[in-house]
Every structure is written in structure tokens, then in C-alpha cells.
Amino acid sequence: MAAPLTLLLIVAVTIRAVLFRSSLADLISERVEVVSPLNAWKRVVEGLALLDLGVSPYSGDVFHETPLIIYLFHFLVDYAEIVFVVADGITAVALYLSVQIYNKNVFRKQKYALEADRYPADCLELLRSPKEMFYIPLKVAMFYLLNPFTILSCVAKSTCGLNNAVIALFILCTLKG
């Protein structure tokens, strides 16, 4: 892993940890711009309480997540903040690696097209060099980790961060083939 990505992850974790420990965390978790009944942490806790009482959390209109989420948090409810921060980190690393793989594929196809002389002469200046594309994976990770909405949804413990991690991992696996 690149040193700039490691530094970016440290900065992102620090920002999230500071906000988790501030008095803003409770305010953020109540904002409708960040959480909804479908992804609110409060609903996950209510679903866990119903599950512990032997009542199906899906019998009413309280819990809307997948069974995997409720059983995951049944064991990790005490470490929820760490889980959400790690999920954001996994998402950023998966996006970083996905963009790297995509860039390699683009450069490989571009190289073969250049060798086969498929590009017109006036289009050659539009082709990208590896040096020009070197920081794009880092920029993608930075835009994800330092996006205010992503930070706020992590601090609010919105389960969107977990969904983002799963989607980013699927994208990475798809690109790896």
C-alpha cells in the first residue's frame, strides 16, 4: 500500500474518532440528511433488543436491514464505532485498488491500439500517460474518505457505510476477474 494512502487513512480515522468523541455525534445521528429509518443505528439497536427477547425484528416496522447485518452486530454491538470506521477504510482501499486495476487495463489497451496504429495522428495528444494517471486512485480514495457526507454517515453509524464497503469489494472482485 502506498504511503500517501496510509497517511490519508490515518487522517480519515482521526477525523472520525474526534467526531465520535465529540458532543456532535448524537446530533449528527438524529439528522434526517444523514440517516433514515432504513439505515439508522437506532433501528439496528431496536432490532437487536427484539431479537434478544425472542421476537422477530421483521414482524413490525422497526428493522429494515438484512439478517446478516443484525447477526453481525449481535456480536459487534460494543465495537460499532470501530466497525464503521474500518468499513470506511475498507471501502477506500477497495476503490483505490479498483481504480489502479482499471488504469492498468486502460493503459494496456491503449498500448495495443498504439502499436496497431489505430489512433489518428491528431488524437495522440489526448492519450494519457501512466505519469498523468498516477494519483487518480489516491484522489478517488481521498474524495471518498474526506467527503463530508461520508464522514457524517460514519459518525451517525448509518449502515450505508457497510453497504458501500460491500459494493466496493464487489467492484474490486469484478475488475480482478
Instruction: Give the per-residue pLDDT at 134.
Output: 85
- Is 168:91 a contact under the CB 8 Å cutoff? yes
| Confidence band of 63 (pLDDT split at 50, 70, 90) | confident
Nearest alpha-carbon partner for 95 in 156, 144, 42, 24:
144
Instruction: Give the per-residue pLDDT at 137.
Output: 94
Average pLDDT of the residues in 127-154: 90
- pLDDT tens, 65-123? 888 888 888 888 899 999 999 999 999 999 999 999 999 988 888 777 777 777 677 67
- What average pLDDT is seen over the chain? 89
Instruction: Give the per-residue pLDDT at 74.
Output: 86
Beta strands in the chain (DSSP E): none
- pLDDT tens, 20-38? 999 999 899 888 889 988 8
Instruction: Give the per-residue pLDDT at 132.
Output: 78
Structure-model confidence comparison of residues 15 and 114, the more confident one: 15
pTM of the full structure:
0.89
Reduced 3-state DSSP string for 18-42: HHHHCCHHHHHHCCCCCCCCCCCHH
For the chain, give every domain's residue range. Answer: 3-176
Nearest alpha-carbon partner for 152 in 37, 34, 36, 68:
34
- Is 57:51 a contact under the CB 8 Å cutoff? yes
Radius of gyration of the chain (CA): 21
